[in-house]
Structure 1
Amino acid sequence: MTAEPTGRPTAKSAPEWPVPPREGWTVDDLDTLPGLPPHTELIDGSLVFVSPQLRFHNLMIRLLTNGLVTHVPSTHKVYNEMTVVIDRGNCPEPDVLIVRKEAVRSLTQTSYPVADVLPAVEVVSPDSESRDRDTKPHKYAAAGIEHFWLVEMEGEDHHPVVRVYERDPVTKTYTCTGVHRDRLKLAAPFDIDIDLTEIHEM
């Protein structure tokens, strides 16, 4: 009688996960480790892989990016899902970010220095709630990013909510300065006016 397959991965089929060095991974490893999934982040020397995203996540990134491009002055550039180098062991990837034009060097660069980022935006996903709400904002504030936005989905109609934070220079932590549900209308860091309800038409 032939044995039934167990369904368990064999040594031959199991994925080969990279083994971290004792001191953890560094920023240099993000560009040199073979086979890393797209949008891998580095948090406290550990690699963080991204799960498949909700449609809401994708549309909010597009809505904010398109809206910001029309409002941000020529001294700055808008990008999404690019690595920000905080230090050798921390390289998160905000969903949307604005950087100073001077930080843009070439079409082949893969990251921007944290000192050139203003603001950083995170769209919360089911697999990243703790990182988006706690870990990353603390690191962004400590590293000197003056503005941070947290985007979430609320209600039965899944409408977007954008919570806007500014960094307190004394405590070096973020303070919430507004909660926006229909329109994201701000005077800082730039004059910004984005209709958030457009997500339902995309």
Structure 2
Amino acid sequence: MKKLFIILSATLLIACNTSKEKNKVGKNTSNEMISENNKEKINDTVTYEDSVMLLGKANRKGFQMDAFKDWFNTGYEDYKVDTETAEKLKPLLKDVDITVFMGTWCEDSQRETPHFYKILDAANFDESKLTLITVSEEKTTPQGYEEGKNITNVPTIIFFKNDKELGRIVEYPIESLEKDMFAILSGKDYKHAYAE
């Protein structure tokens, strides 16, 4: 038994050292869950610096892991939703799908993602129409979810209607999340922070 423990300890030590050499992203730490509908892994974590990060498809439950719940819950609870604009968003969000690319390692993502979820809750958004993709510092996923999406900064929140992109908020809102969402969804001329 002692021999087995030593072998396992050595294996873990090698795996951790190897993972830090690969852009500080490591091996799966087995916190993932399997989506009931499509059997995809969600809320998959990998080692990152002295903790972990989510990598790949995720959902709100992933933010309740110990590594993320403090910033997520505090950001959610402390955010004051512009309820007037959230009410205006309700009918506009009905036929919309949203894809969010964010990094649990990224301060901008840590700030904006909880706020975004609180706005969606205030607008009674159907969360089954939200796809959350968590990326590495290189803005990539092992599955390639970012391919063809032009993800340069995170968070990037993309709004779709009938599979056509209506617009996106990149890294931070221009006016506020609610007002930027309203501008995009109501068809106003909107340019995100990095638009040319």
Shared fold, TM over 0.5: no
- Structure with greater strand percent: 1
TM-score calculated relative to the size of structure 2: 0.32
Q: Which has the higher contact order (CA 8 A, sep 6+)?
A: 2
